Amino acid sequence: MLLAVLSLAAAAPPAAPGDELVDSVVAHVGRRVITKTEVELEAAVLLVQQAGEAGLAARIDGQFFRRVLDTMIVQELLDIAARRRGMIAPEADVAKAMARFALRFSGMDRYRAFLVERRVSEEEIRAILRRSLRVDALLQDEFSVRPVRVTEAEQQERGPGGAAAAADLLEAKRSRRIQQLADEQRSKVTVRVLLDEAP
Instruction: For residue 117, tell me if it sits in a domain.
Output: yes
| Residue 131 CA: distances (Å) to CA of 75, 88, 134, 179 | 8, 9, 5, 17
DSSP helix/strand/coil, 175? helix
Domain containing residue 118: 8-191
What is the full per-residue pLDDT of the chain (199 aa) written as tens digits? 444 444 443 444 444 444 444 579 999 999 999 999 999 999 999 999 999 999 999 888 899 999 999 999 999 999 999 999 999 999 999 999 999 999 999 999 999 999 999 999 999 999 999 999 999 999 999 988 888 776 767 666 666 666 667 777 888 888 999 999 999 999 999 999 997 554 5
**For residue 33, what is the enclosing H or E element?**
strand 32-35
- CB burial of residue 14 (10 Å; 0-12, 13-18, 19+): exposed
DSSP helix/strand/coil, 5? coil
At 14, phi and psi to the nearest 5?
-60, 155
* Number of domains comprising the chain: 1
Instruction: For residue 199, tell me if it sits in a domain.
Output: no
d(CA 13, CA 36): 19
Q: What is the pTM of this model?
A: 0.80
Instruction: For residue 80, tell me if it sits in a domain.
Output: yes
Instruction: For residue 110, tell me if it sits in a domain.
Output: yes
CATH at 56: 1.10.4030.10
d(CA 154, CA 168): 12
CA dihedral 92, 98, 99, 104 (to 10 degrees): 150
